[in-house]
Each structure stands twice: as structure tokens, then as C-alpha cells.
Amino acid sequence: MRRRGFLKKIPIAATAPVVLNGLPIGLLAKGQLQQVVSSTSNDKVLVLIQLHGGNDGLNAVIPIDQYAQYYNLRPNIAIPDNGSRGYIPLDSTLDVADQVGLHPDMVGTKTLYDQGKAAIVQGVSYENHNGSHFRSRDIMFMGGDYDDYLGSGWMGRYLDYCFPNYPDAYPTSEMPDPLALEIGNTVSLAFHRDNGIPVAVAANDPEGFFDLINSTGGLPPESVIDTHYGQELQWIMDIEANSNQYADRLKEVFDNGSNSAGVTYPETYPLAAGRLNNPLAPQLKLIARMLSGGSKTRIFLARIGGFDTHGNQVESYDPTLGNHAALLYHISAAVEAFQNDLQGLGLEDRVVTATFSEFGRRAASNASFGTDHGNAAPMFVFGKAVKPGIIGTNPDLLNLDGNNIPMQVDYRQVFTTILHDWMEAPDQAMVQTLFDGFLDQKLDLFGNLVTSTRDEFIAKRFKLNSAYPNPVRDRTTFSYYINTEVQVNMELYDTGGRRIRSLINAPQSIGEHRVTIDLSDLRPGTYVYRMKAGPLDAAKKLIKI
């Protein structure tokens, strides 16, 4: 085998890609990884979405209480605070210092938040951030400090603790699926491990591979040389030997699966002249279908790129439009569709989705209608099990760290919380993962699915009060609070369920509302008034005398 030919084959062999429904799938797990699934008492799934390039969190999550400072820092790209394309107020019930506005194209995120299925973690980063794409990605994948250079990733170390002695002969009839699937052609450092063969090939010295191949004349060795490179070559051959079986299994799962009727995944950004395609939606749609088809895969990694917005982040004539707006729409709309799909499939109790990016952008914009490499940025976590709300507070824009948004939360606090509280990793596993130092710094990020905090969360933000007076002779006042601008529909029914009349049918703004209605022509008796507004569907009794 010629060296060039072998070099070309390494990425294919290492990731064992399978094209499924037009998307390349990297098989990240073999042997020990499947054992995690077969011996784990829960069937929880984690979907990670990497925002490749460094997301500008300040235009995604806008500090309402500091809007003047925000605008002064970036007047050529600032999202307006009013009008049809003004920011979306997220939650007026929060403390003033915590209130934020979402980019106007993040309607889907606002909807999920109002449903109690979204949380925002403010100011995520790591100490002594260096602003390098490659280095920052490596740090977040390896789960270390800024000055660590680990050859393994946090997920690989966790799995290595749970099931050592990799690799074994897999797939098996008990566990036909790989544990982790990465959509794309690359394998992330997060899945490398310390001991034995890594989950993905890490060739620090390609010459070692070439010399090994040449020494065998290009033929697979009968017994692999007992070296690091020989072990990795054996791992490659094992992956190749099983890739067809995995491909068949993935095809079987895909054919057995389906997506929810009535759920439409967004295909394009509707406000762009070129109607930019949504690259995330088909990835999430595929994941939902595979889970519905019986896939036992536990971790999925999807990607969306384009966040390195040094220039033309916004359109010069409208800061609410442009490349960044399209990206935020792609994420927000695709995740909303994904969550609705999971709900329709009866899977939303099992799945949590989290976004992450290697860094945020600078607080001040540049002259090219863009932003340069910065520090901290928000992370979004979605799912029925998520405790909704905001963790952290708005950055102090008058006390920046060299034009950078300062860190509030170490990224390992988020991953520790997800592994320990969602994936139910034992404490000792967190030691080998190198996250044990963050167990006492976990975030309040997950609720109880049985006694969910969602109902309480929604009840504080969408309330139908009792009418007054009640009983009523002629006129009564209906009052309610809504936490989003939404169509309000209130109707009156008799006790037999027959609709008597419409009381309110109009779009309403955020806040407390009082509507007085004349019911003097209504016959005496007992009635029910029912209100629907966003996530609120409530009814109360009304007596007419």
C-alpha cells in the first residue's frame, strides 16, 4: 500500500462513515461503548449541537436592563428594542438584572421556554480563554484547563471508566447499535480515551503509520505489532470489519422509524433572498426517526457552522437580518420542530438537547458589521426534563474584560451537570472524567419528570384569574397575565359543553390584562369560561344571577 493511499483511507476507516438519508454518520462507538448501553438502567439520550465558529451570544441573548450600553458598544449591529423586528422579551417575571430579549428570529426558543422546556446558561467559558478556534474546541472536548494538553476527551474517559478492556467483538444481538453517532465526516476529541485504543484515531506521528504499513508490504499483519500505531491499525481494521453490520443496522432502524405526522422541519431561512437552507433540521429529523425506530444509541453530535462572523454578520441596511440571523433561526426553528417531533413520538421524556460553541464574540462590533473572537457566551439546554429559566445574570457591560464578556460559568459545570444529573454517571466515573472537582458546582438544570417543575413555571407566567364579581348580575371583569405576545381566545360554555359566545379573540401584549364584559342578557345559571393563550389552557366557573 502506498503511503498516500493509506493516508486517504485513514479518515474513512477511523470514522466508519455511513450515509443515511443523505447524511454522513460517523460511528464513534465500538466494543466497550455498546456495553454502556446494555448495562445501564436508563435509556436517556443526549443530543449535542456544536455551533462551529464562535456564536455571538450578545445578539442572541440581549440584556434588556443595559440596552443603552449594549447599543453603544455595537451600534451598527445592535438588535432594536422596538418595532416588528425588535428583540423578543423572554420573561418579564425575572428580576430586572436578569431580563433578556431574544433575537427576533428565535421565536422557536421563546415558544419552548414558555412551555417550560428551555433553559439558558449565561456566560459559559473557561479561565484564561485564548480566542483560538482550534485550541478552544480542543479544551471543551478534552474537558481540561486552558493549559492542559490531554490526548483524551471527557466522554471517552467517562466511557473508559464504565467499561474498560476495549475493544470487544461487537455489535451483538443484545446491543446492535453504536453508543455515539456523530453526523458528519469527523470524529471529535471528546470521544478519545486515555488507556488502550482511542474511540477515534489520533495519529501524532503519521510516519509511524506509514512505516508499519510498509513493513507488512501493504497486507494486514497476522498479529499486530505491539506498538501504539499497531494497536491503532488493528482498531481501524476492526471498525472496517464491523462497518457493514452497523450500516445494515442503521438502515433497519431508519426504515422502522418515522417522524410525527403534522411536524414540519424548517428547510430554509424565510427572510433571506437566497432562502438559505437549514443544515441542522435534517440532522435532528434523522435523530428523531432513528430513536423512533428503536435505536439504542445514547449520544448524538450534530453540527452547524458559520458562526465566525468577523464581517457581514448583519445586513448593513438591517441589523436584524443577515448571516447570524439565519443561523439563529436555523437552530431555534429546528430544535422546536425536533422537540415537537419527540413529543409526538412519545420520546420527549428521554431526550435532552444542549448547544455549545468554542467561544463568544467581543462586546463591541467592528467596522465590517461583524464581531471578533471573544470569551463567554450562553448555552441553551432543551427538553421536558430541563428546569426552565436562566442560570446566571446579564453581563455588566460597563465592566468588561478587555472588550470581552466575562465568564460566569465554567463549561465543565454544564457538562458535569449533564453527565451526573441527566446521564446518571456515578461519582467515581466523574473522577476519571476529571469533572469530580465540579460536582459541588453543579447547576440547577434538571427537574423531576414525575413531579415536574414545568407546571409551576408556566403557572407563574400564564395565569387566568377568577372573574370579579362572581356571581355576576350584569357586568364582570376577566383578568389574566401572559408572558408573551400571543393570540388570546376566551369563550363561554354552558355546563353541557355547548359554546355560548366568544368573550375575547385578539392578539395581546405581555403583561396583566383586564377586560370587562356585559353579560346582562345571559340567562341565570352556571357557566364555564375557558381561555387559551400560548401554553395556557385554563377554565373557571362563572355563576350568573
Q: CB atoms < 10 A from the CB of 451, how many?
A: 8
- Percent of the chain that is helix, strand, coil (3-state, to 5): 30, 25, 45
Residue 475 exposed, middle or buried by CB count within 10 Å (0-12, 13-18, 19+): exposed
62, three cell numbers: 440581549
More confident residue, 166 or 47: 47
The overall average pLDDT reported for the chain is 84
Q: List the domain boundaries for the chain.
A: 12-204+227-452, 460-544
pLDDT tens-digit series, residues 59-76: 999 999 999 999 999 999
**523: amino acid identity, one letter:** R
Contacts of 288 (CB under 8 A, 6+ apart): 257, 259, 260, 338, 341, 342, 345, 347
CA-to-CA distance for 283 and 293, rounded, in angstroms?
A: 15
Query: Quick check: 35 pLDDT over 50?
Result: no
DSSP for 333-383, written as a single string? HHHHHHHHHHHHHT-TTTEEEEEEES--B-SS--TTS---B-S-EEEEEES
Residue pair 44/383 in contact by the 8 Å Cβ criterion: no
Identify the residue whose cell numbers are 428594542. Answer: 81
Contacts of 341 (CB under 8 A, 6+ apart): 259, 260, 263, 265, 284, 285, 288
Q: Give pLDDT, residue 27.
A: 56
Lowest-confidence region among 37-41, 348-352, 375-379, 491-495? 37-41
Residue pair 99/91 in contact by the 8 Å Cβ criterion: yes
CA-to-CA distance for 245 and 99, rounded, in angstroms?
A: 51
The edge-to-edge listing of strands for the beta sheet with 475-482 is 462-464, 475-482, 511-518
Alpha helices, H only, 86-205: 107-114, 133-142, 154-162
Q: Give pLDDT, residue 176.
A: 73
Lowest-confidence region among 1-15, 112-126, 419-433, 468-482? 1-15
pLDDT band at 452 (very low <50, low <70, confident <90, very high): low
Span 310-330, average pLDDT: 96
Q: Give pLDDT, residue 278.
A: 96
User: b or e along 479-513 (b: 16 or more beta carbons within 10 Å of the residue's beta carbon)?
Assistant: ebbbbbebebebbbbeeeeeeeeebbeeebebeeb
pTM metric for this prediction: 0.85
pLDDT tens-digit series, residues 203-259: 233 344 344 434 444 445 555 556 655 665 565 555 555 555 666 778 888 899 999
Query: Quick check: 141 pLDDT over 80?
Result: yes
Lowest-confidence region among 185-189, 258-262, 535-539? 185-189
Fold held by 460-544? Immunoglobulin-like (2.60.40)
pLDDT tens-digit series, residues 396-442: 999 998 899 999 999 999 999 999 999 998 999 899 889 999 999 99
Lowest-confidence region among 9-23, 413-427, 453-467, 529-543? 9-23
Identify the residue whose cell numbers are 442503521. Answer: 250
Span 38-66, average pLDDT: 88
**117: amino acid identity, one letter:** K
Residue pair 360/405 in contact by the 8 Å Cβ criterion: yes
Q: 366 — alpha (psi -120 to 50), left (phi > 0) or beta? A: beta
Residues linked to residue 409 through DSSP beta bridges, in sequence order:
124
Query: Quick check: 517 pLDDT over 90?
Result: yes
pLDDT tens-digit series, residues 321-341: 999 999 999 999 999 999 999
Lowest-confidence region among 14-23, 205-214, 251-260, 449-458? 205-214
Span 30-38, average pLDDT: 39
Q: Give pLDDT, residue 180.
A: 74
**44: amino acid identity, one letter:** K
